[in-house]
Amino acid sequence: MSAPGPRRLIPLALQDLAEWPSPDSSVLDERLRTLYEKRRRAVSMYAIGRPFDEIRKESGLGEDEVQRLVKRCLILHADGSIHGFRALIPNYRVRQYTRHSAVSGNLDGTGYVGALDQLFQKLPQIRDLVHQLFYGTKKGNVLPEIAKPISVIHSRFKKELRLLGYTDYDWPFNTRHSGYQALWSYCRSLRNNDAQNAAYDRCGIEASRRGHVGKGIAPLLPNIRPFSHVQLDFHKVDAASIIVLRNDHGVELEIPVQRWHVGLLVDEYTGAILGAHVALEKTPSADSVLEVLDNALRPEDFGSADPRRGLTQQANVLLRQLIPELKYQCFASLKVDNAWGNAANEVVNNLMDTVGCAVNFGPVRAWWRRRLIEQIFQSLTQHGLQRLPSTFGAGPGDDRITCPNKSAIKFRILLSDLIKVIFTCIQKHNIEPNEGLEWASPVQCNEAALKNPCSGHIHQPLPKITQQGLWLTMHVEEVTVRGNINRNDRPYFVTDRCRYTNDVLAQSFWLFGKTLVIYVDRRHCRIVYATVKETGMRLGLMIPEARWRNSDCSWRDRKLFNRSGLSTRHTDIFEDPAELLAQEKITALLNRPKSRKVKSSSVALSLAKLNRIAPSTNAPSNLDQKPTPQKAEVEQNREQVGDPFGLTSVPPIKSVRRTDR
C-alpha cells in the first residue's frame, strides 16, 4: 500500500481548490460528465493527501494518471489564471498545438498541421511582416494601407518566402493553395485575440469606437430616479420642405429649404420628452440650446394655429403639458455633447445659475453616453420623417430617396407640415407604451413615480421669483456709461451699435465712466436691464433707440445685421431692420437663377427663421401659405369682400409664432 507523499505538485498559493476555475458540468453529456466527476474526485482526494490506493479504489485512476491530471489543471490559462478543473473535461485542450517534427505532407494533402506556426518560429521576420500587413502598421517610409485583403497579404507572404529561397518543394508552395487557408486562419485568430486593435486598422474609426459599447461593465453613474439626469441633443431633420413665395406677377415659387434641426430634452430614467425646439439653422446655436431648455421649463401653450400642436391638433405634447404639475420642473444634471452651441458660456452658466444642476460634456464622439436620446431620434425619424416622400432617408444608399427636394415641391410639403409631423411623433412617444419601460408609457411612469413616495420623484420646481422672470435666456455683458457733462449729453450706454438709456440713468450724471452690468434678453434685444457693477444698484428696464424699439429681433440676429452693415446704411430710423433684411432675402430668392437641379437654399432657411421674428404683413407675408384656392373660389371671395381686382386679397399667413410673454 503506497503511503501519501507530500503533495509537491500543487503550490501553496493554489491549495484551496474552491478557488480553482471549474466548468458548469451540468451542460456536459452523461458520458463526459461521469468521466469528469471521476477525475475531479481523484484530484480532490490527491489535494487533501489521500493515499493513491484509496484514490484508485474510488475513481479507478492510478498514480501516474492522477499526477498527469493535476499537472494539466495547473497549466496557466490565457486569462491569467490556471485551467483548474476545466482541464479535466475529456478532450479539453490546455496548450496550443506546436509542431516539432519536420513538415512532410501525405499524398492526400494532409499532414501539414502546425506548419505555419513552425515557419513563423523559424522565420520571425515573416510573422512580423504578416502582423504589419494585417494591422496596417506604419513602418519606415512605407505608406500604411488600411484593411488589406488576406489575398494581398498572402501574395506578399509568398513573395518574401521566394526571396528567402523557398522552392515549390517546400511548404507552403507544395500545397494546393500555397498555405492560403493556414494564413487566413492565422489572421482570423489575430482578429479574435485582439479585436479592438484589429477594429481600428481593418474596419475604421467608427468600428473601433464601438468597442466602448457593451464591454460588460456597468455604467458608474446610477440612473435610479426621474429627473436626476436629462439629455439634450439636436438632430438634423431627415426630410425636405419648402417655403412658398409669390413674385410681382402673382406666380408662386416653391423654394426648398436647407435642412434644419430639431432639439430635444429627454429624461434619462423614463425617456419622457421634456422640451423640444425647432432650430431653423444649419448648425444649432447657443440660442437654440437655451430655447430647448426654456421650452422644457416654461409652461408655454401652443396656440390654435401653432404647427406644434401636431397633426391631431392636440395642445398636450410635452411632459409638462401632459402632467401640468410638472411645470417648471427642474433636474439635477444635464448631459450634452461637445457641440459649440452647448459649450457656450451663457448656456452652461445661465443654466447652472437658474436650475442649479451639474452639466456634463461626454468624451469626444462618445455617442453612447447619450444612447437614449439617439434612440429616440431614430424612432422619431423612422416613424415620422422617413416615411414622407421628401425624405433624405438613412443615407446616400437608401433606396427610399428619390429627389427629396423635387418631392417636397411636388407634394407641397411645407416647413410647418414637417413641424406638425415631428411634434405628433413627440406626443406619440410620450403617451404610447414602449418595451423599454415594460410596456408603460413615459407619462404613466412619471405619474406612478409621483404617487409612489419610495421612488424619489418629487415636485422640484424653480423658485417662484425665478419663475416670474426666467433669465435663462439672458446675455450678460459689461458696458461703460457714456455722455458728456460739459455738453450736457445725458448718460447712456451703447451695445451692438444701439444706444440705451432710461429715466433713471439719464438723471445719474455720477455714473459717467462707470461700469454697468447689462442683461440682454437674447430673444428680444430691445429688452435690456442694467445694474451698476460697483454697488449693485438696479437701474431697471432700458429703452433702446427708435429703430429697435418695436423690433422683435434677437440679440444674435442684431449682431448679424450689424455685421452686414444693413442697419447702419439702409434703414430709416423707424423701420425694423429685421423686416428689411427679410425683404431683401425675398427679393434675392425671387431673382435667383433657375437651375436644372432643384437645390435647397440657405437663404430660404434664414427667411423662414426671420418670419418668426417679423411676422407682420410687411415682410415675409407670403411664406407657408395654404395651397392656392381654386380660381372660382378666389373670384367668389373677391366679389364677396368687394374687391373685384384682387388688390386686397392676401393669402393667410401660416408661420411659427412665439406667444407674447
Contact set with other proteins (CB under 8 A): 218, 220-222, 224-225, 228, 330-333, 338, 340, 342-345, 347-349, 352-364, 453-466, 468-471, 474, 476, 517, 519, 527, 529, 531, 533, 536, 538, 540-541, 660-661
In the complex, minimum distance from the CB of residue 315 to other proteins, in angstroms, rounded to a whole number:
23
> 142 or 220: whose CB is closer to other proteins?
220
In the complex, minimum distance from the CB of residue 527 to other proteins, in angstroms, rounded to a whole number:
6
> 174 or 460: whose CB is closer to other proteins?
460
> According to DSSP H, which parts of 384-479 are helical?
404-410, 415-431, 442-451, 464-468
In the complex, minimum distance from the CB of residue 19 to other proteins, in angstroms, rounded to a whole number:
16
How many Å apart are CA 651 and CA 294, to the nearest integer?
Answer: 32
In the complex, minimum distance from the CB of residue 410 to other proteins, in angstroms, rounded to a whole number:
42
In the complex, minimum distance from the CB of residue 358 to other proteins, in angstroms, rounded to a whole number:
4
User: CA separation (Å) from 393 to 396, 397, 405, 421?
Assistant: 8, 9, 12, 16
> 221 or 546: whose CB is closer to other proteins?
221
At 233, which helix (H) or strand (E)? strand 229-236
> 517 or 560: whose CB is closer to other proteins?
517
In the complex, minimum distance from the CB of residue 341 to other proteins, in angstroms, rounded to a whole number:
10
Q: Edge to edge, what strands does the sheet with 528-532 contain? A: 474-480, 515-521, 528-532, 538-541
> 307 or 544: whose CB is closer to other proteins?
544
> 22 or 531: whose CB is closer to other proteins?
531
In the complex, minimum distance from the CB of residue 226 to other proteins, in angstroms, rounded to a whole number:
11
In the complex, minimum distance from the CB of residue 231 to other proteins, in angstroms, rounded to a whole number:
14
In the complex, minimum distance from the CB of residue 13 to other proteins, in angstroms, rounded to a whole number:
15
List, in order, residues 6 or more apart from 579 with CB less than 8 Å away.
Answer: 614, 616, 618, 619
Q: C-alpha angle with apex 516: 512 to 518, nearest 5 degrees?
A: 140
Q: Identify whether the C-beta of residue 175 lies closer than 8 Å to the C-beta of residue 105.
A: yes
List, in order, residues 6 or more apart from 309 with CB less than 8 Å away.
Answer: 302, 315, 317, 420, 423
User: From the CA atom positions of the chain, what is the Rg in Å?
Assistant: 37
Report residue 541: phi and psi, to 5°. -75, 135
- According to DSSP, the residues that pair with 311 across neighbouring strands are none
Q: Helix (H, G, I), strand (E, B), or coil: what is residue 108?
A: coil
Query: Beta strand pairing status for 358-361 and 273-279?
Result: unpaired
> 40 or 457: whose CB is closer to other proteins?
457
Query: Beta strand pairing status for 474-480 and 358-361?
Result: unpaired
> 193 or 550: whose CB is closer to other proteins?
550
Query: Beta strand pairing status for 528-532 and 515-521?
Result: antiparallel
Residue 269: closest CA among 235, 222, 316, 233 = 222
> 241 or 551: whose CB is closer to other proteins?
551
